[in-house]
Amino acid sequence: MRLLLAILTASVTLAGCGPGDEYERAGGKSPADATVSPIASATAVSATADNATGRRTRESPNERSAVTVTDAVLDTAIFAGGCFWCMEPPYDKLDGVLSTTSGYTSGSTMNPTYEQVSAGRTGHTEAILVVFDPARVSYDRLLYVFWRNVDPLTANQQFCDRGSQYRSGIYPRTLAQKAAAEASLRAISARFTQPIVTEIVAATPFYDAEEYHQDYYTKNPVRYNFYRSRCGRDSRLKEVWGAEAGR
């Protein structure tokens, strides 16, 4: 039993959202050996959300492109709250959310890779794109969930992950989203004596992260939960938000 525990501990101690963990984030395989490699899995997205399922069409097997939303019924929202692994679960369980996608946004490099973003070389932040049905869940509700799952008081850092690539942010796509985001910021600011450092910046191209990052919390629950606990995310959220803290 002790040997088994030692092996298990060793297998999860490397898990993390910080730079230099590509090996663990590929599921314990090197990128060259992974079932889906970081490069091959970086497929382009046209972002036409299927009305029934929220699926987004992937067009190219070798290159990623910016998301442009053309669906007339569904809507999308972009949020950054540190490690994108941890931002998918709170939205996936919301009624009216059809899909979440981990990726990179608000940077200057086209088609960035995880290695580039995690090194802080592209200006991007780890983010998620949420496809939702506004008839079932409002953008205001998505904002509520966002705030309770981030630390809005710490700049260029979320929990144990440090660097501008882990800054928190809201990236509105429309004037209505911008107005709602700014109203939520004013409401949140009134709760704290410290300034809110979460940025609100108009949406720019969003690039899907490599496939091994998508739904990481369901693909690798042991590693995910160990990372989340070790990073101090839940304890800090409770400190900031009390009983309203997200999970």
- DSSP string for the chain: -HHHHHHHHHHHTT--SSTT-HHHHTTSS-TTTSSS-TTTT---EEEEE-TTT--EEE--SS---------SS-EEEEEEESSHHHHHHHHHTSTTEEEEEEEEES-SSSS--HHHHHTT-S--EEEEEEEE-TTTS-HHHHHHHHHTTS-TTSTTEETTEESGGG-EEE--SSHHHHHHHHHHHHHHHTT-SSPP--EE-----EEEPPGGGTTHHHHSHHHHHHHHHHHTHHHHHHHHHGGG---
Would you state the pLDDT for residue 53? 31
Mean pLDDT of the 58-83 span: 63
Active site (catalytic) residues: 83
CA distances from 53 to 120, 132, 142, 210 (A): 34, 10, 19, 21
Tell me: pLDDT of 79 over 50: yes
**Looking at the chain, how many residues does it have?**
247
Residue-wise pLDDT for 9-64, tens only, equals: 444 333 457 544 433 433 443 333 332 222 222 223 333 333 333 323 223 333 34
The mean of the pLDDT values for the chain is 79
The fold adopted by the segment(s) 2-33+73-244 is Peptide Methionine Sulfoxide Reductase; Chain A (3.30.1060)
Would you state the pLDDT for residue 64? 42
Residue-wise pLDDT for 118-147, tens only, equals: 999 999 999 999 999 999 999 999 999 999
pTM confidence score: 0.76
Name which of 9-13, 75-79, 107-111 the model is least confident about.
Answer: 9-13
Mean pLDDT of the 78-99 span: 97
Find, among 143, 139, 159, the residue nearest to 239 by Cα: 159
Residue-wise pLDDT for 167-198, tens only, equals: 999 999 999 999 999 999 999 999 999 999 99
- Percentage of residues of the chain with pLDDT beyond 90: 69
The token duo for 108 is 């200057």
Would you state the pLDDT for residue 16? 57
